Amino acid sequence: MSIRHFLTLRDLSSEELRKLVRRASELKAIRNRGEIYEPLKNRVMSMIFEKSSTRTRVSFEAGMAQFGGHAMFLSPRDTQLGRGEPISDSARVISSMVDVVMIRTFSHQLVEEFAAHSSVPVINALTDEYHPCQLLADMQTYFEHRGDIQGKTVTWIGDGNNMCHSYINAARQFDFKLKIACPEGFDPDPELVAENQSRVLITRSPEEAVTDSDLVVTDVWASMGQEEEQKEREMKFADFQVSPSLMDKANSDAIFMHCLPAHRGEEISEDMLEDPRSVVFDEAENRLHAQKALLEFLLVK
């Protein structure tokens, strides 16, 4: 059987994604019962991080350990990756020694190139364009709190960034409507929007976007790699803060998510994470369970 990679949500079918999200909740229950389940004994994952991370590193490393396997942290600073060894050579070498490779980097093309030369599954753990692992956790969290997301309305507030792009893919794969409120000049990729125009709507008004919404999501105004734009973005995004009063305009059972890390006083008000509608810490924990389901899907036949 040919290798499966997970570079975007489009690499799995809708049915596979749905099963994976349900499986994530089962794996969570297994762990909560204290049962040992080690389907990846003696298996090794390389984790290549070119950007910082707390959740992604901890969840993948803990997940591999709980599954009986091992995770290896690789930084470009102390491997030949940082000294210009071609991606194709690195991919051939690393994949000849391990069972799965996870990469967090800037260019999405780099992950595609690595996957093209890898003999084992490659997982995108965030690029400038997509963050599909986060969406697995977000979907699991919605299913656990409110049931199936099919036919629901989701609102994205803020930058048309990697998370927003993955929400567009999720709208297609999980069949929901996505309203995006972003300042002019910060729209998501127009091609991706055009491909999904029956489901995706862009507006400049956060109030309009949250009306009739079942799930409200936001993210930082300046992503990793955009630090020098922070000040300019703070001005341009000033009207795009999610607060309990903005949430009041959504449906009465709407919930709030944020992939974290969050900047209180910027994209969210000081009190938003503690609001009863916020499920962000369940969402963060679900990174562990959702990625274990992904590893099981990719590695256990």
Contact 163, 126 (CB under 8 A): no
Q: Does 282 qualify as catalytic in the annotation?
A: no
Q: Which range in 71-79, 166-174, 218-226, 244-252 contacts ligand NVA by CB under 6 A?
A: 218-226
Distance CA 172, CA 200 (A): 9
Q: 51 or 117: whose CB is closer to ligand CP?
A: 51
Choose, by CB under 6 A, the member of 223, 241, 278, 286 that binds ligand NVA: 223
Considering only residues 129 through 188, tell me which ones interact with ligand NVA, judged by CB under 6 A. 131, 161-163
Q: Does 264 qualify as catalytic in the annotation?
A: no
For residue 153, the partner it binds in ligand CP, ligand NVA, none, with Cβ less than 5 to 8 A by kind, is: none
CB of 252: closest distance to ligand CP in angstroms?
28
For residue 54, the partner it binds in ligand CP, ligand NVA, none, with Cβ less than 5 to 8 A by kind, is: ligand CP
Counting residues that bind ligand NVA (by CB under 6 A) gives 10
| Peptide bond preceding 76 in cis form (omega within 30 of 0) | no
Q: 48 or 299: whose CB is closer to ligand NVA?
A: 48
CB of 260: closest distance to ligand CP in angstroms?
5
Query: Interior CA angle at 273 toward 269 and 278, to 5°?
Result: 120
CB of 192: closest distance to ligand NVA in angstroms?
16
Burial of 145 (0-12, 13-18, 19+ CB in 10 A): middle
Q: Does 259 qualify as catalytic in the annotation?
A: yes
Residue tagged 């999405």 (tokens): 108
For residue 139, the partner it binds in ligand CP, ligand NVA, none, with Cβ less than 5 to 8 A by kind, is: none
Distance CA 138, CA 130 (A): 14
Query: Interior CA angle at 238 toward 232 and 239, to 5°?
Result: 140
Residues contributing to the site for ligand NVA (CB under 6 A)? 126, 131, 161-163, 219-220, 223-224, 259
The residues that are catalytic are 104, 131, 134, 219, 259, 287
